[in-house]
Structure 1
Amino acid sequence: MAAWPKLKWDKEPTGPLKGIKVVDMATVVLGPYATVQLADLGAEVIKIENSEGNTPGDLMRHAGDSPTKQHGPIFAALNRNKKAINLNIKKPEDKAVLEALLEEADVFIHNVRMAGMERLGFGYDAVKAINPNIVYVHCAGFGAGGAYGERQAYDDLIQAASGFAALSEQRDGGRPTYAPSLVADKVSGLFAANATMAALLARAGGQGGQFVQVPMFECFTWFHMVENLWGETFIPGTGRMGYTRSVNPRRRPYPTKDSFIAIVPYNDRQWAKFFELGGRPGVFDDPRFATYQERTKHTGELYALIEEVTAERTTDEWLDLLAENDIPAMKYNRMADVLTDPHLADVAFFEEVESPVLGKYRTMKHPVHYAGTPVTNYAHPPMLDADGDEIRSALGF
């Protein structure tokens, strides 16, 4: 059995997954979003990339400008704390390197269609024969056995097929739109990271390795329908789907004298106090707003009244007044404002780091705090095949 290569990191990983060995054959967004969670938590992640074609490596390397022409902004965010090696596993010598890595790996994760992986000799049964204890995670587009099981999946396709893109049509009455975020990829990536850790926990409890399939369509539909199944939850259903509050067209930041503000009075006291502060003390005498159930039915009218009230003061005036009265509110930030948000500055969320290859760049701290096993950014996103020689040499190739 080949020994897992002893990797040299820029700093020592300290997170709760330190010592977990991951072979990462995932590309683009969904898979790398899962594996960067594992890497941030201290797992030793070796990223496998194919150098064939005109755009070698992970396609996200080439999306957007970068100083190296290999570190597109999304790639840089999703591939820190990883080592990189180029392998063309159609070649016997590169196939042997991957097999050697898998012998001692704890996790093998990829988003290649399973039929293709089986043709290449790295389906679950073949990998299990190499390492019976491995957790094999397949990030699929659609669950096996379903009508779409062999199709490709991308964020836009999943937003459309899950009904998520229909929310904007229901809210605004216009044509459906995609959310301006790779939300289906990232949500499914979080499912994949969670599933990987659950399977590792089961293995630690004596249940051995296993095959884990993470189907993007099902994961994102589950995420989306938690609140939006709504009137079709109980049978027979009402036909009304979409949580009434979240699909209301007036659910948006409210205008103030100088900008916008987000306000969410949630209990009866907060609602009554808000309208009292706004000079409308009689609003809650209206039976449409007197109880939580009635407010839910008449959300649109309630939001319209809020817009009238908020327009009478500046954002800062409202923030001070609402804070004094314990009513939840936040300033509306445009994206550039987030970079200087005082809370994020206090917790050092955005970090400016310097790499000998990339120069200065901005990254984000892992958002979860672990008191006993603190999480750190311990390695810069790698160049193509940056660690190929080191890994091959350590494996005896």
Structure 2
Amino acid sequence: MNDYSLEESKVGGWPKLEWDGERTGPLQGVKVLDMSSVVLGPFATLQLADLGAEVIKVENAQGGGDIMRKAGDNPTGDLGPIYASLNRNKKSIALDAANPEDRAAILELAKEADVFFHNVRMAGMERLGLGYDDVKAANPDIVYVHCAGFGADGPYAKRQAYDDLIQAASGFAALFEMRDGGRPQYAPTLVADKVSGMFAANAVLAALLGRANGLGGQFVQVPMFECFTWFHMVENLWGNTYPPGNGKFAYTRSINPRRRPYPTKDGYIAIVPYADHQWERFFELAGRPGVFQDPRFSTYKARLENTTELYATIEESSATKTTDEWVELLDANNIPAMKYNRMADVFDDPHLQAVDFFEVREAKAGYSYRSIRHPVHYASTPASVYADPPSLDADRNEILGSSD
């Protein structure tokens, strides 16, 4: 029985939970041996850890652990801000897989694990004696998940992959060129890493479900290039969805250079009328009731074909009121709109404050840090933050003791 206190939130109907430091998620009882590092892999195993899985993070003893420990200012010297965000709820042990004794310890831990997870190139893992066949010999029922850069059957299989490389190769960086008419750009976030990490977490859950249904353990490869290309091409195949295609790539609305927050008297706002009646009402509220009767804007198809002109008209209208005036007015008329927040403003967003999205935690080591609440709500088996990000090798005794 999970021991937590429950009190109804006044916002959104979601329960607020006061945690006692215990795992409460639906993956309790699942053990993950995690040899991943940097962003993609840790982002995936973070989700599993938040959901209650026991995640044992095996870090490279020779290299000082996960490289993200040293990235960015931090009060401890080995808990860089990205590392701290991605590795809460995990246990750390530092081992050198090239050392026979440490390799044997990893395989011993694998015997008790449900999932063996890594984002090292497969040739390297096989040289270390930690390929799928090696781990399967130790645990025939293991779910072995390899986060690769590229699928094993293609000519890029042995190449290294990083977020920038995948944004460029997938065509994603070209969207900025198509939109702005200038040079291609990378999105200012590690979007390819994190999207691929979502695929990897989903792959773990699917393979565990298959095993629970009697299909046994298996080898699972999550190729970053293919995952991210799939992700962004869903809408951006556009005019080439049906062969032979018309040569037009990218969802018309997505790459329009005027698709951006609109100026107001005192800032910016996001406004997205969608249904016909919302568009008509928006222009009435803006004091321009005749705009919606313009044949360029009166139907969904026409609006797609004339998006640039439509967005320009919204910009002219939005500048007539303050942000707060627009938000109140549009909300009262059921027209989707949100205030534009700069990064620091997000901390003060009233909705995120009400749902306790950012929590300042006091670590046992004596420092405080912001923890981001797991965003998915489970009524019976809620996710939780029950452990601070670990210092390197912090859990050696507990981990090795539990493997005996």
TM-score tier, shorter chain, comes to: over 0.9
State the match for 1:340 in structure 2.
Answer: 348
Alpha-carbon distance in 1 for matches of 2:319, 2:253: 21
Q: Choose from 29, 32, 42 the match for 1:22.
A: 32
Please state if 1:314 is matched with 2:315.
no
Scaled by the length of structure 2, what TM-score is found?
0.94
Please state if 1:68 is matched with 2:76.
yes
Q: Choose from 344, 359, 364 the match for 1:356.
A: 364
**Structure 1: segments with no counterpart, 5+ residues:** 1-8
Alpha-carbon distance in 2 for matches of 1:272, 1:285: 8
Mapping 1:236-255, distance limit 5 Å: 236-255=244-263
The 3-state SS of whatever aligns with 2:57 is: strand
Amino acid at match of 1:322: L
Alpha-carbon distance in 2 for matches of 1:122, 1:193: 21
The 3-state SS of whatever aligns with 1:345 is: helix
Alpha-carbon distance in 1 for matches of 2:157, 2:361: 42
Q: Choose from 57, 61, 70 the match for 1:51.
A: 61
Amino acid at match of 1:25: M
State the match for 1:179 in structure 2.
Answer: 187
Instruction: Work out whether residues 288 and 294 of structure 1, in 8 Å CA contact, stay in contact via their aligned partners in 2.
Output: yes
Mapping 1:246-395, distance limit 5 Å: 246-357=254-365, 359-395=367-403
Deviations 1:76-129 (A, max 9, x none): 000000000011011121111101110011000000000010111111111111
1:299 CA displacement: 0.6
Instruction: Work out whether residues 67 and 358 of structure 1, in 8 Å CA contact, stay in contact via their aligned partners in 2.
Output: no
Q: Choose from 15, 31, 35 the match for 2:41.
A: 31
Amino acid at match of 2:44: A
Instruction: Work out whether residues 112 and 403 of structure 2, in 8 Å CA contact, stay in contact via their aligned partners in 1.
Output: no
Instruction: Work out whether residues 48 and 201 of structure 2, in 8 Å CA contact, stay in contact via their aligned partners in 1.
Output: yes
Aligned residues, how many? 386
Alpha-carbon distance in 2 for matches of 1:392, 1:318: 59
State the match for 1:194 in structure 2.
Answer: 202
1:394 CA displacement: 3.1
1:290 CA displacement: 1.3
State the match for 1:40 in structure 2.
Answer: 50
1:11 CA displacement: 2.0
The 3-state SS of whatever aligns with 1:143 is: coil
Q: Which runs of 4+ in 1 moved over 4 A?
A: none
Q: Choose from 199, 213, 216 the match for 1:208.
A: 216
The 3-state SS of whatever aligns with 1:339 is: helix
**Structure 2: segments with no counterpart, 5+ residues:** 1-18
Mapping 1:106-145, distance limit 5 Å: 106-145=114-153
Mapping 1:91-102, distance limit 5 Å: 91-102=99-110
Instruction: Work out whether residues 288 and 295 of structure 1, in 8 Å CA contact, stay in contact via their aligned partners in 2.
Output: yes
Q: Choose from 218, 231, 234 the match for 1:223.
A: 231
Q: Choose from 147, 168, 176 the match for 1:160.
A: 168
Amino acid at match of 1:152: Q
Instruction: From the superposition, tell whether residues 358 and 33 of structure 1 become closer, same or farther in structure 2 (CA, over 3 Å).
Output: farther
The 3-state SS of whatever aligns with 1:320 is: helix
Alpha-carbon distance in 2 for matches of 1:394, 1:255: 59
Instruction: Work out whether residues 228 and 241 of structure 1, in 8 Å CA contact, stay in contact via their aligned partners in 2.
Output: yes
The 3-state SS of whatever aligns with 1:76 is: helix
Instruction: Work out whether residues 158 and 217 of structure 1, in 8 Å CA contact, stay in contact via their aligned partners in 2.
Output: yes
Amino acid at match of 1:26: S
1:358 CA displacement: 5.0
Alpha-carbon distance in 1 for matches of 2:154, 2:402: 42
1:390 CA displacement: 2.0
State the match for 2:23 in structure 1.
Answer: 13
Amino acid at match of 1:98: I
The 3-state SS of whatever aligns with 2:210 is: helix
Deviations 1:177-218 (A, max 9, x none): 100000000000000000100000010000000110000000
Deviations 1:273-308 (A, max 9, x none): 000111111112211111101111111100000000
Scaled by the length of structure 1, what TM-score is found?
0.96
